[in-house]
Structure 1
Amino acid sequence: MMRRSHVGARVATLLFLSPLAGCRTEPPPSYLRVEGPAPRLAEVPDSRALLVVFWATWCPPCRTETPQLVALAEAPPDALRVVVFSHDTDAKAVETFLGGPPPAALHLRLDEGHPVARAFGVDALPQSFLVVDGRLVARFSGPREWDSRAMRRLLEKLIREHPAPSSAPSR
Structure 2
Amino acid sequence: MFIRSFSRIACFVIALGVLAQPATAKEKTTALSGPAPDFTLKSNTGKNIRLSELRGQVVMLNFWASWCGPCKQEMPLLDALYQRYQPAGFTLLGINAEEDIGAAKALLAKDPVAFPVLFDTDSKTSETYGVDAMPSSVLIDCNGNMRHLHRSYVPGDEKIYKKLIKSLLKECK
Task: Tell me the residue number matched to 2:118.
Answer: 109
Match of 1:128 in 2: 137
- 1:39 is the counterpart of 2:37: yes
User: Which residue is 1:70 aligned to?
Assistant: 79
Distance in 2 (alpha carbons) for counterparts of 1:80 and 1:145: 22
> Share of identical aligned residues, percent?
24
* Cα deviation 1:36-70 (Å, max 9, x = unaligned): 11101322462521101100110111111111112
Long gaps (5+) in structure 2 = 1-23, 41-48
Figure out how many residues of one structure are paired with residues of the other and give that number.
136
Correspondence for 1:141: 151
**Alignment partners' CA distance in 1, 2:146 and 2:68:** 25
Distance 2:59 2:155 in 1: 17
- RMSD (CA atoms): 2.7
Q: Report the TM-score, using the length of structure 1 for normalisation.
A: 0.67
More helix by share: 2
Task: Please report the TM-score for the alignment, with normalisation by the length of structure 2.
Answer: 0.66
Q: Deviations over 1:68-88 (max 9, x none)?
A: 112122222521100011012
Aligned 8 A contact 1:102 1:108 in 2: no
Encode CA deviations 1:92-144: one digit per residue, 9 max, x unaligned. 312322335853x3211110110001111111111110011210111111115
Distance of aligned partners of 1:94 and 1:119 in 2 relative to their CA distance in 1, 3 Å threshold:
same
Amino acid at match of 2:38: R
Equivalent-residue separation in structure 1 for 2:155 and 2:58 (angstroms): 19
